[in-house]
Amino acid sequence: MSNIPVGISACLLGNPVRHDGGHKHSRFCTGVLSRYFEFRSICPELEAGLGVPRPTIHLRELDNGLRLTESKGDADHTDTMRDWIESRLPQLADLRGYILMAKSPSCGMERIKVHNEKGRVIHREGRGLFADALMQAYPLLPVEEEGRLNDSHLRENFIERVYAYDDWMRMQDEGLSRSALVAFHTRHKFQLMAHCEKTYRILGRQVADQKSEPIETVANRYIRLFMEAMSQKIHRGAHANVMQHMMGFLRESLSASDRQVIGEQIEAYLREEVPLVVPMTLLRMAQRREPVDYLARQDYLSPYPEDLGLRNRV
């Protein structure tokens, strides 16, 4: 399987594209994620023609709206940036995720400083021009800032969403059909249950009743709710509930002592004494010993490559 196409701010790959000719090299991105992601690097400011080195820029809230201006002086690059964004966005339709540079007036995803006409900060609720346009053009696309990936839960959630979205896009490429949608939903049932049990039940009913509407209508509604649910944080109780469901499918192959050990580790996980990988490893071993077809089709067991070690920290 080829690597997954993911967009990334060019400075995070160590490219000297920042205003001062520097970079913000992320070793996690280049040393870990690059084994599985095919990074497509973009620097909006450089590609829009602002050059390196260049004057620092920031967002200003003026009478004619939000503008991208030089920090010192009145040079306005808003129209240049928006023209570049309009031409560039259609080329990103095949991406499965995007990692942005924080605090950037072009790439920042959130909490970007916005200044008044005199250059004073009036609030920190802005979003970079490129980041905002990207997220509006592709609302299903998993997007995260590099700094937030230091949080183990946000990191695990982002990568899980990238792999799930990649599965959806591959299904679309192979040809959308009612049976393909059923198979996709089946693969991700336990993931949905963990993220949001209410959405899991809603989508289950939609898939079961999909013949009442055109498949495109059903699929568009399905994936919006699916990706919204997948972005929700999974609480320990939800993981425990799903793992107990899995034990039910394995009951014929588990001895009483096996059930006791797995149950004890699920309880230990609930008490935050062990990470998720501990009870999950026991369940995966039981599944490998005597495979159950239904569980074998569940992405929840292995939603991303195991050697990323993401479940060791959640």
Q: What is the DSSP letter of 3?
A: P
User: Domain check: are 119 and 23 in the same one?
Assistant: yes
Same domain, 292 and 162: yes
Residues 181, 227, single domain; the answer is: yes
Rounded CA-CA distance 180/168 in Å is 10
227 with 308, same domain?
A: yes
Q: Do 95 and 204 have their domain in common?
A: no
Give the model's confidence band at 1: pLDDT under 50 very low, under 70 low, under 90 confident, else very high.
low
Pick the last residue of a domain from 150, 179, 194: 150
Q: Which of 150, 185, 202 is the last residue of a domain?
A: 150
First vs last C-alpha separation in the chain: 27
Mark whether 181 and 112 lie in a shared domain: no
Length of the chain: 314
Residue 251 in contact with residue 292, Cβ under 8 Å? Answer: no
What is the band of 290 on the pLDDT scale with cuts at 50, 70, 90? Answer: very high
Confidence at residue 101, expressed as pLDDT on a 0 to 100 scale: 97
Is 17 buried (19+), middle (13-18) or exposed (0-12) by CB count in 10 A?
Answer: buried
Specify the amino acid at residue 262. Answer: I
DSSP string across 135-153:
HHH-TTS-EEETGGGGSHH
Split into its structural domains, the chain has a count of 2
When pLDDT is averaged across residues 185-211 and rounded to a whole number, the result is 95
Residues 157 and 215 in one domain: yes
Q: Are residues 81 and 130 in contact, defined by beta-carbon separation less than 8 angstroms? A: yes
Domain co-membership, 278 together with 171: yes
8 A C-beta contact, residue 85 and residue 49: no
- Among residues 17, 36, 185, 46, the alpha carbon closest in space to that of 96 is found at 36
Preceding omega of 53 cis (within 30 degrees of 0): yes
CA angle 58, 158, 13 (to 5 degrees): 55
Q: What is the pLDDT of residues 122-149, one digit of tens each?
A: 999 999 999 999 999 999 999 999 999 9
Task: Give the β-pairing of 112-115 and 57-62.
Answer: parallel
Final residue of a structural domain among 150, 183, 203: 150
Please tell me whether residues 161 and 265 are part of one structural domain.
yes
Hey, what amino acid is at 108? G
> Domain range spanning residue 31?
4-150
Same domain, yes or no, for 161 and 299? yes
Q: What is the pLDDT, as a whole number, of residue 114? A: 97
Does residue 210 carry a pLDDT above 90?
Answer: no
Let me know whether 67 and 177 are in one domain.
Answer: no
Q: Are 283 and 244 in contact (CB under 8 A)?
A: no
- Asked if 144 and 193 sit in the same domain, the reply is no
* pLDDT average, residue stretch 5-16: 98
Strands (E), the chain: 4-9, 37-42, 57-62, 65-70, 98-100, 112-115, 121-126, 143-145
Task: Please tell me the distance from the alpha carbon of residue 84 to that of residue 97, in angstroms, as a whole number.
Answer: 20
pLDDT in tens, 34-53: 999 999 999 999 999 999 99
Q: Which amino acid is at 135?
A: M
Instruction: Give 229-269 pLDDT, tens digit per residue.
Output: 999 999 999 999 999 999 999 999 899 999 999 999 999 99
Percent of the chain residues topping a pLDDT of 90: 96
